[in-house]
């Protein structure tokens, strides 16, 4: 009895050793992300931006067996979603190389704004199959033409360069003031940090802007823009800098209050609320007053997106501001906040206005027209009441999520979650390895069973 037990233990150990040896030789026990000692050495890992148009990612690699692949995996974070992608570097089997990937950030199909927060890793594989994933790195994408400084106060971080410290301080103060005022106006709370990027003048920040067309860009001065849910660009126009900050930060709060799962705010109420947040409406007032005198105004339902005609931009903002001002003064702040809440819940501005005020957009437009001395208009019935998607000062975010990093989610796209981006080839490889493991285990188990049951000679 004792002799048989000892023999059984010896045989079991022999079988176990054989299984382990074979598995190791096949690489079945290799841990993903861990290279065999000494096969791949990672040196400097850097990212640089010579200007706002691109980011260059680089990693120094030594791979005696020859580097088979080097892939950059990046993620871009904002309060709405996480988007990202993968992009391979050219390696050509080199043993020592600076693997490099250039990510274009401002093209016709992709816009990643200055001030965006990134994380990234490199995945390195040599010709022997060893694999290394570099530690995750994080950075804020800034315009590499300038030496940036930063300062954080409360929920806001401001970035500036050169002799622009005064405007940086003004930006922090105005952002906090505008946030408090708009939180009170719309009965919401902003609960995530905001980054403010300040250029000294528009000409120095022009390369960082997303173009709306050469003709439009030539004729319209851009004082600032909310380029992401948590990022504002400021270009210090001649005068009115504080109001530019208040306007753009107001857009952050309006997004929290109004944009929901069923739709985005029509631009007239979004921009009107942002101008209402300013100390003064500036040039928008005379523009809309002239349009009132000429009765050349625009139906609210036609103002779901901003005007692309440079000659109508000031009128659009002025009419939006006057409409919002009328709503707050006629119906009061609580009901104005209710309009935002109702729209967020349903994504239909006509329905939201009817719920709170008892009129749709045409009815509100006529009420406002009469308040400025114009006659109401009879509108013909519409075949469809659907409104175009809102634009306003949107977060124009689109980055590739394919192997080449060249596809786009489009302006304001939501992208895909990081969990959805593993290539299909990795899944296939996992299935193959799993099947091979089962076959080896089954074969060895059967052999061990036969050996243990073999009668003594």
313 within domain boundaries:
yes
For residues 422 and 437, state if they share a domain. Answer: no
For residues 421 and 437, state if they share a domain. Answer: no
CA 405 to CA 412: how far, in whole Å? Answer: 17
Domain boundary among 371, 406, 421: 371
Based on DSSP, count helices (H) and strands (E) in the chain, helices before strands: 12, 13
Cα-flanking dihedrals φ and ψ of residue 101, to 5°? -130, 130
Identify the CA nearest to 178 among candidates 164, 165, 196, 160: 196
Domain span at residue 19?
A: 2-30+433-453
Cα-flanking dihedrals φ and ψ of residue 32, to 5°? -60, 140
380 within domain boundaries:
no
21 within domain boundaries:
yes
197 within domain boundaries:
yes
For residues 165 and 103, state if they share a domain. Answer: no
Q: Coil, strand or helix: which one is 230?
A: coil
CA 61 to CA 42: how far, in whole Å? Answer: 5
* CATH assignment at residue 97: 2.60.40.10
For residues 174 and 289, state if they share a domain. Answer: yes
Domain boundary among 354, 371, 388: 371
In Å, what is the CA distance from 25 to each residue of 28, 30, 34, 382, 440? 8, 10, 16, 73, 12
Q: Which residues contact 270 (CB under 8 A, 6 or more apart)?
A: 251, 254, 258, 390, 392, 393
For residues 15 and 59, state if they share a domain. Answer: no
For residues 298 and 332, state if they share a domain. Answer: yes
For residues 110 and 251, state if they share a domain. Answer: no
For residues 21 and 68, state if they share a domain. Answer: no
Contact assessment for residue 103 and residue 89, using Cβ atoms and an 8 Å cutoff:
no
Identify the CA nearest to 102 among candidates 351, 428, 432, 400: 400
For residues 128 and 214, state if they share a domain. Answer: no
Say what the pLDDT of residue 421 is. Answer: 36
Say what the pLDDT of residue 456 is. Answer: 33
391 within domain boundaries:
no
* CATH assignment at residue 345: 1.10.390.10
Say what the pLDDT of residue 218 is. Answer: 55
For residues 297 and 423, state if they share a domain. Answer: no
Say what the pLDDT of residue 406 is. Answer: 30
The DSSP H or E segment spanning 83 is strand 82-88
379 within domain boundaries:
no
Contact assessment for residue 247 and residue 274, using Cβ atoms and an 8 Å cutoff:
yes
Say what the pLDDT of residue 399 is. Answer: 35
Q: How many domains does the chain have?
A: 3
35 within domain boundaries:
no
Say what the pLDDT of residue 439 is. Answer: 45
Q: What's this model's pTM, rounded to 2 decimal places?
A: 0.74
125 within domain boundaries:
yes
Q: Per residue of the chain (457 residues), what is the pLDDT tens digit? A: 444 444 443 434 433 444 344 444 444 343 443 334 458 999 999 999 999 999 999 999 999 999 999 999 999 988 888 889 999 999 999 999 999 999 999 998 999 999 999 999 999 999 999 999 999 999 999 999 999 999 999 999 999 999 999 999 999 999 999 999 999 999 999 999 999 999 998 899 999 998 766 555 554 557 899 999 999 999 866 668 999 999 999 999 999 999 999 999 999 999 999 999 999 999 999 999 999 999 999 999 999 998 878 889 999 999 999 999 999 999 999 999 999 999 999 999 999 999 999 999 999 999 999 999 999 999 887 665 444 443 334 333 333 332 333 322 233 333 333 333 334 444 444 444 454 444 434 444 433 333 233 333 3
Chain centroid offset of residue 63 CA: 35
For residues 106 and 181, state if they share a domain. Answer: no
Say what the pLDDT of residue 211 is. Answer: 76
For residues 15 and 45, state if they share a domain. Answer: no
């Amino acid at each position: 009895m004792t002799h048989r037990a000892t023999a059984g233990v010896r045989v079991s150990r022999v079988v176990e050793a054989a299984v382990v040896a074979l598995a190791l030789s096949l690489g079945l026990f290799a841990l993903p992300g861990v290279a065999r000692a000494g096969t791949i050495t990672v040196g400097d890992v850097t990212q640089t931006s010579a200007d706002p148009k691109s980011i260059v990612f680089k990693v120094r690699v030594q791979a005696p067996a020859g580097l088979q692949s080097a892939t950059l995996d990046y993620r871009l974070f904002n309060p709405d979603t996480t988007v990202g992608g993968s992009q391979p570097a050219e390696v050509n089997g080199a043993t020592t190389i600076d693997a490099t990937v250039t990510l274009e950030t401002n093209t016709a199909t992709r816009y990643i704004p200055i001030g965006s927060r990134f994380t990234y890793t490199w995945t390195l594989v040599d010709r022997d199959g060893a694999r290394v994933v570099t530690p995750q790195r994080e950075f804020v994408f800034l315009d590499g033409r300038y030496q940036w400084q930063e300062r954080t106060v409360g929920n806001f971080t401001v970035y500036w360069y050169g002799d622009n410290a005064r405007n940086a301080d003004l930006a922090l103060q105005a952002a906090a003031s505008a946030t408090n005022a708009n939180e009170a106006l719309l009965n919401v709370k902003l609960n995530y940090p905001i980054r403010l990027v300040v250029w000294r003048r528009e000409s120095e920040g022009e390369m960082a802007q997303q173009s709306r067309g050469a003709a439009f860009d030539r004729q319209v001065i851009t004082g600032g823009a909310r380029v992401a849910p948590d990022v504002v660009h400021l270009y210090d126009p001649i005068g009115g800098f504080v109001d530019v900050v208040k306007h753009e930060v107001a857009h952050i709060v309006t997004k929290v209050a109004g944009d929901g799962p069923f739709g985005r705010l029509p631009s007239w109420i979004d921009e009107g609320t942002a101008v209402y947040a300013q100390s003064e409406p500036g040039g928008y007032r005379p523009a809309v007053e002239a349009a009132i005198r000429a009765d050349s105004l625009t139906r609210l339902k036609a103002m779901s997106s901003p005007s692309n005609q440079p000659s109508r931009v000031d009128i659009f903002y002025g009419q939006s501001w006057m409409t919002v001002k009328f709503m707050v003064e006629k119906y009061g702040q609580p009901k104005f906040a209710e309009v935002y809440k109702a729209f967020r819940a349903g994504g239909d501005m006509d329905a939201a206005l009817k719920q709170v005020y008892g009129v749709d957009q045409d009815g509100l437009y006529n009420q406002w027209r009469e308040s400025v001395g114009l006659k109401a208009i009879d509108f013909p019935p519409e075949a469809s009441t659907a409104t175009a998607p809102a634009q306003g000062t949107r977060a124009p975010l689109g980055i590739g999520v394919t192997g080449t990093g060249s596809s786009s989610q489009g302006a304001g796209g939501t992208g895909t979650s990081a969990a959805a981006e593993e290539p299909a080839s990795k899944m296939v490889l996992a299935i193959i390895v799993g099947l091979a493991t089962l076959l080896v285990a089954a074969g060895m188990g059967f052999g061990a069973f036969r050996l243990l049951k073999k009668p003594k000679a």
